Structure 1
Amino acid sequence: MPPRARGLTLQTWHPGGTVSYFAAALVRAPGGWAAAEIDLNGAADVDEVADRLRDVDPDADVSLLFVESDDAYLAILRLDDGEDLRFFGSDSTFAEESRLGALLLGEVEEPALEIDEVTSEPAEATEEEPEQPAAEPDADPVGDADLLADLGIPARQLLELCTSEGMLPSDVTAEVCLMLGCGDEIEELREV
Structure 2
Amino acid sequence: MTSGRVTVYFAALLARTAEGWEASDTELDDVETLTDLIDLARGAAKDDDTVLAFIEHEDAWFGVVRVDGEEDPHIYVSDAAAAARTSYGSMLTDELLGRDPEDDLDSLVDLDGTEDGEPDQDDDSDPDAPVPVGPLGDGDILTDLGMEEKELKALDGDALESIADMLGCSMEGLEAVR
Give the TM-score normalised by structure 2: 0.71
CA-CA distance at 1:18 after TM superposition: 2.6
Which of 57, 60, 82 is the equivalent residue of 1:94? Answer: 82
Are 2:54 and 2:160, in contact at CA under 8 Å, matched by a contact in 1? yes
Q: 2:85 is matched by which residue type in structure 1?
A: E
Which of 163, 174, 178 is the equivalent residue of 1:189? Answer: 174
Q: 1:17 to 1:99 in 2, by over 3 A?
A: farther
CA-CA distance at 1:154 after TM superposition: 1.0
CA-CA distance at 1:41 after TM superposition: 1.8
Query: 1:131 aligns to what?
Result: none
Partner of 2:95, secondary structure, is coil
Query: 1:32 aligns to what?
Result: 20
Query: 1:173 aligns to what?
Result: 160
Q: 2:31 is matched by which residue type in structure 1?
A: A
CA-CA distance at 1:16 after TM superposition: 8.7
CA-CA distance at 1:17 after TM superposition: 4.7
Are 1:75 and 1:89, in contact at CA under 8 Å, matched by a contact in 2? yes
The aligned length equals 142
Q: 1:174 is matched by which residue type in structure 2?
A: E
- Decide which moves more: 149-158 or 27-36: 27-36
Query: 1:146 aligns to what?
Result: 140
Aligned: 1:104 with 2:92: yes
Which has more strand, going by share of residues? 1
How far apart in 2 are the matches of 1:188 and 1:28? 16
How far apart in 1 are the matches of 2:64 and 2:175? 17
How far apart in 2 are the matches of 1:82 and 1:66? 18
Question: What is the percent sequence identity of the aligned residues?
Answer: 34
Q: Where do 1:1-192 residues align within 5 Å?
A: 17-109=5-97, 140-161=134-155, 167-168=156-157, 171-182=158-169, 184=170, 186-192=171-177
Q: 1:146 is matched by which residue type in structure 2?
A: D
CA-CA distance at 1:179 after TM superposition: 1.1
Structure 1 gaps of 5+ residues are 1-14, 111-138, 162-166
